[in-house]
Amino acid sequence: MQNETGNVSTTVAASPSNTELCKEYTNAIFYGFGMSPFAMVATLIISLFERRRYKSDICYGKPGLPLPINFLDGTSNSVANAAAFGCTLEHILVYLFSGKISVNRWLVAIVLFLLTFLTALVFYPIFACLNSPSRVFGSLVGFLYTFLLSLVLLARGYLCEESGWYWALHAVTLVSEIYIMILFVYRFVTAILKKSKFHKELLVKIDQVMHVKELLVAPKSKIEGNDIKQRIITYSETVLAEAKLCCLHKSLYRCTTRTLAINTIVLLVFYSNFLLTFQLGEITESSLSKLAALYSTLSLNGCEQIKILSEVIRVSLIVSNILSAVYLITNMILIYRSQRQHLMKRWRGDKSFIPTHCRLDHSEKLILVFVSCLLLSYFCILPIMKKVPEEFLIPLEFVLPGVIFLFVLRFILRFISSRVFLQNHYLSADNGKHWERALALDNRWVYQNLSFFLFFYYILTGLYRCIFRVMTSICINTFYIARMDKPLLIPGFERFDIEYMTYLGFLEVELHQCHPVVVVCCDLLMKSVNHLSSNQETSLESPMDAHKRNIMSKIYTRKVRNKWQKMKTLILNQSICKESKSNVSFQQPQQAKLNLVH
């Protein structure tokens, strides 16, 4: 049904019985133990297919602790884990916005922590089944549990009379659950048809091996040409290759699980804010329409201004959401590119991009600049539409001519300086690629006179430049507040930027856990290890304990190790070297004479 203004549609109020039933159902599902027993049963079933490392000789090492998500394993299962985070959207929104926590204010933080723990418990089986070593039973249990969770949420939507905005939010959860159920079905069918058994996952991945092979190959010489067409073609090929590596190919440079999970959560928050802003805009426009109708009924002035304000708010919401979407996607791409470049630098041992005073002793919500979009609507969009009175254009008429004159004067001064006040001498630039004008002053008297007259103008513009500097700093810091890879504080104080320090902590974790050279080296060492031969006493190595023999390398490796320990013994004992006839090379060398060139 529609209200009196005919602009906004409202939902029919639910009956008291349905309202009470919806409230009880919501409390049982979100705040009670409605889904917790099912989650515990599903987790117990999954744990039966996991091997236990602690006291593995009891009950054949089962049950074991499932692995819900592995943030240290590069790109494995990253898309599926991101979709699983999409299933949690409705629970999080209910806990943060819909529910009312009637406890003491000192206990709100503890209650919120318990609710987040309850959310993790409810969705733990989904993550555990996605990363389960058993494809058959993990997919079967995961499909049944996800299907049950979907039915529960659909039943809540059927019992509760919600607005259209709720279904727009519920659609994200429903799409994520459908994707996960399709993935479980696909894994189950492929596991049955191929009759594949679980094999222990290899330590090294093929992309890491390829990266190490590329490091062992001589680098190609990069000769920069002056042909603009060739540069454009080369840059386009590089961009396409990066896009393929990022999205279409399971390579080392693809988004890691942590990065993709964080970006998914940011997109979900942005989508929620997007719907919330339009809902608030609809409510505000409805209120202003009622106020305008009241003014028109009472024959009061200001009805036209209220309509203009309502249209300004509507246009501002559209512009702000469009700019926010572009800003969000651009920041995601830039952060991903910076993370990849910084991570490759850390692999090479390069720390030049990290400030010297930063120490990794400890490890934003996207800001919608509504006020800026409001001003943009007043100064640019609505003046073009001729829906704003001339009084609103006074600030624009005052600021715009001054800015234009400042840029024109700056261009004229640079032109005069290059043609009149500099001598005709050229020097080679620092990069050695082109020539530049030498800073040798000519026509000093004219220069001094011009500087004198401009000095008074600079006094006037100094204050405006100071204000402009402050505003520019605020705008830049506000614009880059979502860029974790860039410190917002001045050099020397970066360690107080918690988000930047968290980003450096992410890089350190990726460096120590996913370094391709280290992983490939460990894999080669593990493959080369063999059981110790029965003649262990002839070796310099000793067993680890009396009941379990140590695993040693092959015979030729043991000989090399014996020679190495012999050499170390001779170096540390110079008296043995003097008496030895076959090890004269280990004797203390004579001190070389120092030749000085005068």
What phi, psi does 75 have (nearest 5°)?
Answer: -110, 10
Cβ within 8 Å of residue 266, ≥6 positions away: 328, 332, 366
Domain boundaries, the chain: 12-201, 398-501, 529-586
- Pairwise CA distance, residues 39 & 122, whole Å: 6
- Pairwise CA distance, residues 285 & 308, whole Å: 11
DSSP 424-483: S-EEE-TTSSSEEE---B--HHHHHHHHHHHHHHHHHHHHHHHHHHHHHHHHHHHHTTT-
- Pairwise CA distance, residues 383 & 390, whole Å: 9
- Pairwise CA distance, residues 519 & 515, whole Å: 6
Angstrom CA distances, 17 to 1, 21, 157, 166, 293, stand at: 21, 6, 15, 21, 36
Angstrom CA distances, 150 to 88, 173, 253, 348, stand at: 11, 9, 34, 47
- Pairwise CA distance, residues 563 & 317, whole Å: 76
- Pairwise CA distance, residues 257 & 251, whole Å: 13
CB neighbourhood size of 454 (10 A): 13
Cβ within 8 Å of residue 242, ≥6 positions away: 253, 337
Cβ within 8 Å of residue 596, ≥6 positions away: none
- Pairwise CA distance, residues 246 & 252, whole Å: 9
| Residue carrying the six token digits 């917002």 | 488
- Pairwise CA distance, residues 132 & 81, whole Å: 12
Question: Tens place of pLDDT for every residue, the chain, 598 residues?
Answer: 334 333 334 444 445 566 777 777 777 776 666 778 888 888 888 888 877 767 767 777 677 778 787 766 656 677 788 888 888 877 777 766 666 667 766 677 677 777 778 878 888 888 888 888 788 888 888 899 888 888 888 887 777 776 666 677 778 888 888 888 898 888 888 888 875 444 455 566 666 677 677 777 666 655 555 567 777 777 777 767 666 655 544 554 456 777 777 777 778 777 877 777 777 777 777 777 777 676 666 555 656 666 777 777 777 777 877 887 887 788 777 777 777 777 777 777 777 777 665 544 433 333 345 556 656 666 666 666 666 666 666 666 666 666 777 778 888 888 887 777 777 777 776 666 777 777 676 766 677 677 767 766 666 666 667 677 777 777 777 777 777 777 877 776 777 777 788 778 777 877 777 777 777 777 777 776 654 444 444 444 444 443 444 444 445 566 777 777 777 777 777 777 666 666 555 554 544 444 433 3
Tens of pLDDT along 48-78? 887 776 776 777 767 777 878 776 665 667 7
| Residue carrying the six token digits 């830039």 | 334
Tens of pLDDT along 108-135? 767 777 777 887 888 888 888 888 878 8
pTM for the structure as a whole: 0.53
What the block records as the tokens of 577 is 């070297």
What the block records as the tokens of 202 is 């290899």
Q: Is the peptide bond before 63 cis (omega within 30 degrees of 0)?
A: yes
